[in-house]
Structure 1
Amino acid sequence: MRSIDYFDRGHDLDPGRTALIDAASGAELSFAEVKALTERIAVAMYAAGFENQQPVALYGPNSATIMVALLAIWRANGKWVPVNTRNAIEANAAYLNYVRCGWLFYHSSFAEDVAALRAKVPLLTRFICLDRAMGDDPALDDFIAGAPAQPLPDFSDPFGKPDDVVGLFPTGGTTGPSKGVVVTNLGWGTMLETLGEAVGGRTDDPVSLVVAPLTHAAGPVALGTMALGATQVILPGFDADAVLRTIPAYRITHLYLPPTALYGLLASPELGRQDVSSLRIFILVGSPVSPEKLRQAVQAFGPCLCQAYGQVESPMITTWLSPEIVAAAAAGDHPERLASCGRPTRSVQVGIMDDAGNLLPAGERGEIVVRGSLVSREYFELPEATAEARLFGWHHTGDVAYRAPDGYLFIVDRKKDMVVTGGFNVFTAEVEAAVTELAEVRECAVIGIPHEKWGEAVHAIVVADGIGADAIVTHAKARLGGVKAPKSVAFVDEIPRTAAGKMDKRALRADYWRGDRLVN
C-alpha cells in the first residue's frame, strides 16, 4: 500500500475519532477532518503546478499542522524530504540541491533559515508558510482557499504502487553531502506493517505521544500508530517534566523516544508524582541504551519498555526487543538481554558477515547484513555507493555485532565509525574534515565516547598549535551544526596509527570503552 493508505486505514476504523491533539495550542482534529484537509492541500498543490512524485520538504517545529502537511505530501503522492532544523544551513542546502527539491512547507519561526535556503537552492521555488503569510509566500489557509474544488486523481493501482517513492531520506554525510536513501512504498509499507504487528493489539484506546521531531523519525512512528487508529498528542519539543505530566493528562499508551530522553525522564522529579500506568509501549530507538538505565526504566514505567534497531536503509524495526523480554530481563531472567538490540523481525533476514562475504555462526563478530522487502531500493543517483552497500547480495549496515545462540543480536562496534548521539547519526570523517579546515590544526581524529545523557558524545582528538578547544568547537558548530560538532576536545602530540598508517581509532577509544560495549 501507499504511505497515505495507512492513515486511511486508521481513518476507516473510526472517522470521528480524534486524530491529532496539539498540546501547545489545544487544537484538535478528527480523522475525518485530517483526511479532508490533506485532500484540499493536495488539490491546491496540483493547482499550483505540483507534479506527481516531486520532492517536498518540511521545515518547522512539532505541531498538528506539520503532521497534516506531511500527510498531505503523501496524499499528493509526493516524495518527502526530511530536513533536520538542527543541521547547519549549508548542509541542508546541499541536500536539497542534491535531491532537486522544489517545494517547501515551513513555519514562520524559521523564516530566517528559509531565506538562506532560498538563496542557496535555486530549484526551491514554491514556499508555503504553515502559520501565516510571509512576504510573497502564502499562508497554508490562503493557499488552500485559492484552490479549485475538484477531486484528486487516483494515484494507486491494484498493488498499491509498490515502486513509487515515499521519500528521499538523508543519511549522515561522511566527506560530502548526505546520501539520499530512496524509500519506496514496498519498503515503507513493510516497516509500518512490522511496527503495527509489534506494538498493536495492546489497548482498545491507543493514544500516542509525539515528542521527537516529526520532521525526523517521529513522523514515521506517528503514521505507524495512526494506522492502528491511535490519537496523536503532539508536544512542540522534549521537556522531561512536560512529558511526564502529559502522560496521565491524556492517558498516553504509546511513546517513542531516543534513550537520551529516557535518561531525562528518569532524572525528573515529576516521575514519582505522575501516574504513568497507562503506558503500554515505550519504544527506544536511535542509540545504545545503558542496561542499568533500562532496568530502572522498567521499575519506573512498568512492563512497556522495548527496543528496535534499524537504519534509514533498513528502517527502524530490523530487530525487535519486546516489552515482555525487556521486563523479564529486568527481573533477572536472561539479564544480558538488556544489552541486546533484539531478534530479527519477520520482515527481514539478518546475518553476521565477515569481510570476505561469509556468513558467520553464533558468537562470532562481523557486520550486520540484511535482506528483505524492508531494505530500501538504492541511494539516489549514486549507483557505486548502492553497489558497495549491497556487496555479496546483502545490504551492509556498517554495524558490527554478534548473534547469541538464542538469536539475540548484540552490537559491539560501528564499522564506519558512526557516532550515535541523542538519536542522531554523526559520521566522524565529516567532523574531522571540518576541524582540519582550521589552519592551526594539523590532524584530527573523532570518536564517540560514552555519555550519560546522550548515549555517545562526539569527541575530537587534535594535534594543533596556538588554538583552544572553544575555537575548534565554535568553528565546527558553524560548519556542521550543534549535533555534529565535538562536545569535547583533547590535544595530543601525535595520533596513534596502525601498521598500514591509518589512524588507530581502536587505540583512541580504549580509554573510554570497556571490553566490547559502551560504558554509559
Structure 2
Amino acid sequence: MQGAFTMVIGQILERNLWRYPHKEAMCFENTRLSFLSSADRIYRLANALCNLGLKKGDPVAFLLPHNMIEAQEIIFALGVTGMPIVPINARFSSTEIAHLVSRCKVKGLIYHHSLSGLLESVRPSLKNVQIFVAIGQPTSLEDYDYEKLLLQSPPTPPDVSVKESDIAALIHTSGTTGMPKEVIWTHKSWLAGVRDIIITFQLTDRDILLMFTPYFHIPFFWFNLAVSYMGGCLVFIRRPDPHLILEAIEKHKVTVVSHFVPTTLIRVLDFPDLDRYDVSSVRYYMYGGAPMPFGILERAVPKMGNRFIQLYGFTELAGCAAALTPEEHIIDGTEKERRRLLSCGREMPSSDIRIVDERGRVVGPGVEGELIYRGDNLMKGYWRNPAETKAVLKDGWFHTGDVGFMDEDRYIYISGRKKDIIISGGENITPKQVEDVICKHPSVEMAAVIGIPDPKWGEAVKAVVVLKKGKQATEEEIIQLCKDNLASYKVPKSVDFVPSLPTTHTGKIKKWELRERYTKKAGHKPL
C-alpha cells in the first residue's frame, strides 16, 4: 500500500517545467515570463541566497512598494530553499517593521530601492538581519544587487531537502490581546489550502489570474500558488485602479480576478468607461476581506455579470473556510435566497466547521455560538507563542473568535467577533494597538476604538476618547498622533470626545454598546 500523497512548493516549479516550459507563467506591465524563464530566475535566486550563507529554516523578509513579478519569484525561491517567507506590509511604520523583523528573527531582507528611505530609518534596529538584497539600486555598499546575484548564480535546483512538515511562511496577523502574532504555515498546510481553491474554482492550465490584492495579504499566497499549481498564468498590476484592472482583464483575457473589497468594487462600478471594456473572459470575481454591503452587489451583478464568489477565511488557515458561489448570488430571488447574500457561504471541500456554545457543545441551526474550524490547511501554531497557540488550538480545532450561526442548509452567518477586530478596506485592525497609541497623548485618560459600518470601507475606524480632568485635545491632534505611529489604514477616520465610557461592573468597556450607539448615529440600516 502506497503512502499518502505529499508535495512541497518547489515541486510546482518542477511539474510546470516539463509540462508547460514555453507557456506564459507571469506578466507584469511589459515583462512576460514563461515557466522556463521564471524557473531559471527562481533557481538562480534560491542558489544566491544559499551562497550568501542563508540556510534552510532562516526566515527571510521582503518589502516591496506594490505587486510585481519579483514577489512571486521570492516566494518560490524561499519555498525551494526551505526558508520561511516573512512578507512585510509596505504600509507599516518603521516601528512596526522593526518589531516584525525582530519577532520573526529574520536573517535576510529583500527590499525594493524605492523604499530605501523607510529601510534606512529602521536599519540600525534590525540586529538579526545578516543579508540585505536590493531590487534596483542598493542603498548601502554592503547590500547585494538582486539582478547581479541572479546573473552570478546557477539556474539549477539548489541541493536542499525540503519536507512537507517544514515551515513555509510566517504570516503577520492581529491578535486577541492586541499584540501582533505570526502564523506558521507549513508546506503541507499551504498546499492543502491551494487544492481547495483549485477544486472550488475548477482551475485549469487555461486560467489567467489577475492579482491586485497586495503581496502582503493572504490571497496573494494561496491563490497565486493554486493557479501556478495547474499551469495557469499570473498577471500583476501595481494597484487596484479601475483603469488598470479593466485594461488587464481585456488585454490578457483574464478568467479569475482577486480580489475585491467594497472600496475597490465601488471605484470600478463608478468608472465612467466600464462598459467600454470587454470583460467577457472572466469566470470569477472574488471578493472578501471586508463586509460587502448588499447595495454594492445589487449594482455589481447586473453590471458585471453573476460571476461573483465570496471567500471567508482567516490568516490562521492557508486558504479559505467557506465560499458563496455565483449560483448563490441571487439578487432578485426569494427572501431566503436574498438573505444568503448576508452569509459567507458554505464549507470548502476539505473544511470542517462547527458552531459551539461556551462549553464546546455543537448548537443547532440558527443558534449563535463560536465558529470553530479544522482541516489540513490549518496553521501549525503561532510563531514562538505557545500560550496563544494553546488558547486557540484545542483537540485539533481552531477556535476562531468569530461569533455566528449556521442555517438549516449550513450557510454560515458571521454576526460578530470576540476579538473585536475591525476590517476596514480589507485590512485587519486591532483596536488595542490604536488605543495604546491614543493613550500616549498627555491629555487622554481612556480610549476605545471601534469599527462602525461604512459604505465605502466596509467598516471605518472610530475613536471614542475620555480626556483627563482639566486637559484638552483636538480631533486633529489625535489623528496626527496615530498617523505618526501607525500604518495609515489604522488611523481613525473620526474622533469623539465623551465624559465617560460605558463599562461593566468589572471595568471593561462595553464596546458593543458604543458600536450600537454610533451605528445608529450614522443612520446605518441593515438589509
State if a TM-score over 0.5 links the two structures: yes
Would you say the 8 A contact 1:419–1:458 is kept in 2? yes
Match of 2:383 in 1: 380
Shift of 1:240: 1.6
Instruction: Mark the CA change 1:459 to 1:12 in structure 2 (over 3 Å): closer, same or farther.
Output: farther
Instruction: Mark the CA change 1:120 to 1:426 in structure 2 (over 3 Å): closer, same or farther.
Output: same
- 1:170 equivalent to 2:172? Answer yes
Shift of 1:378: 0.8
Moved more, 1-10 or 290-299: 1-10
Q: Which amino acid aligns with 2:503?
A: R
- 1:366 equivalent to 2:369? Answer yes
In 2: Cα distance, 1:252 partner to 1:277 partner: 9
Match of 2:46 in 1: 42
Shift of 1:92: 1.7
Which of these residues, 480, 483, 492, is aligned with residue 477 of structure 1? 483
Moved more, 403-412 or 108-117: 108-117
Would you say the 8 A contact 1:280–1:303 is kept in 2? no
TM-score, scaled relative to structure 2: 0.92
Q: What is the aligned residue count?
A: 510
Shift of 1:290: 1.0
Q: Which amino acid aligns with 2:360?
A: G
Q: Structure 2: which 5+ runs fail to align? A: 1-6
Moved more, 129-138 or 417-426: 129-138
Mapping 1:106-505, distance limit 5 Å = 106-136=111-141, 137-147=143-153, 151-156=157-162, 161-173=163-175, 177-201=179-203, 205-220=206-221, 221-259=223-261, 260-326=263-329, 328-329=330-331, 331-332=333-334, 334-391=337-394, 394-464=397-467, 465-505=471-511
Shift of 1:69: 2.0
Which of these residues, 55, 58, 62, is aligned with residue 62 of structure 2? 58
In 1: Cα distance, 2:418 partner to 2:503 partner: 17
Would you say the 8 A contact 1:41–1:144 is kept in 2? yes
Would you say the 8 A contact 1:63–1:236 is kept in 2? yes
In 1: Cα distance, 2:161 partner to 2:298 partner: 47
Match of 1:90 in 2: 95
In 1: Cα distance, 2:525 partner to 2:346 partner: 20
TM-score, scaled relative to structure 1: 0.93
Would you say the 8 A contact 1:94–1:177 is kept in 2? no
Shift of 1:162: 2.3
Would you say the 8 A contact 2:179–2:433 is kept in 1? no
Would you say the 8 A contact 1:352–1:402 is kept in 2? yes
Shift of 1:513: 4.1
Shift of 1:49: 0.5
Match of 2:3 in 1: none
Q: Which amino acid aligns with 2:195?
A: E
In 2: Cα distance, 1:8 partner to 1:518 partner: 53
Q: Which amino acid aligns with 1:507?
A: E
- What SS does structure 2 have at the residue aligned with 1:388? helix
Q: Which amino acid aligns with 2:51?
A: A
Would you say the 8 A contact 1:174–1:429 is kept in 2? no
In 2: Cα distance, 1:462 partner to 1:7 partner: 53
In 2: Cα distance, 1:437 partner to 1:20 partner: 46
Shift of 1:518: 8.2
Moved more, 415-424 or 386-395: 386-395
Would you say the 8 A contact 2:94–2:119 is kept in 1? no
- 1:16 equivalent to 2:16? Answer no
- What SS does structure 2 have at the residue aligned with 1:315? coil
Deviation digits for residues 403-462 of structure 1, max 9, x if unmatched? 011000011101110001111111111111111111111111110011111111111011
Percent sequence identity is 29
Would you say the 8 A contact 1:512–1:519 is kept in 2? no
Moved more, 204-213 or 75-84: 204-213
Would you say the 8 A contact 1:208–1:253 is kept in 2? yes
Deviation digits for residues 192-217 of structure 1, max 9, x if unmatched? 0001111124x763111121212322
Shift of 1:264: 1.8
In 2: Cα distance, 1:420 partner to 1:10 partner: 37
Q: Structure 1: which 5+ runs fail to align? A: none
In 1: Cα distance, 2:448 partner to 2:475 partner: 14
